[in-house]
Amino acid sequence: MTARFTHKKFMINWLKALMLSPGMLFPAGYLLVYLSINIYLNADFKENLAQSVSKATGNTWQISIKSLKPGLVLNSVTLNHIELTPVAKPEISGQKSNHAISIKTLEIPFPELEKLLFSSKERLASTKTVCARILADERLVQ
């Protein structure tokens, strides 16, 4: 019975050592940062980007984005199913408003993406950069 207990204790200690080894801690930390960035991009960043686009276009366009994904090595952001729609305003001269613009995917190079979680200055600058890139692509589509 003591041999069985010793074997069980050995296995538990071995598993603890494995989980605390650098070979496991680094991938776990990277996965935590990657998932945190993914959650942030699809929550707050998307909302801030919508406000930035509205402000940059003088409240004439609204944007909707289905999802944002960080690149695997955190060097880019992929925006999926972007739709720019004109804000409905009363017709003054009887002209029809512009039609909605759709962009299926847009990949934007984004060095040092991991800094978004730790720097508010970086968040603001990155929102403006992504907004400018979307509006540049929107002009190419028209």
Tens digits of residue pLDDT in 31-88: 998 999 999 888 888 999 999 999 998 888 899 999 999 988 888 999 999 998 988 7
Let me know: does 94 contact 115? Beta carbons within 8 Å.
no
Residue 94's alpha-carbon distances to 32, 37, 87, 90, 142, in angstroms, are 54, 46, 16, 9, 22
pLDDT of residue 89: 65
Rounded average pLDDT over 13-40: 89
Give the count of beta carbons closer than 10 Å to the beta carbon of residue 78. Answer: 15
- Check whether 135 has a pLDDT greater than 80: yes
Helix, strand or coil for residue 82? strand
Domains in the chain: boundaries: 2-141
Task: Locate the DSSP E strands across the chain.
Answer: 61-70, 76-86, 101-109
Kindly report the pTM of this predicted structure: 0.72
CA distance linking residue 109 with residue 116, whole number of Å: 14
Alpha-carbon distances of 66 from 60, 83, 89, 141, rounded to whole Å: 20, 9, 25, 19
Confidence of residue 123 (pLDDT cuts 50, 70, 90): confident
Of 64, 39, 40, give the one whose Cα is nearest residue 126. 40
pLDDT at 128 over 70: yes
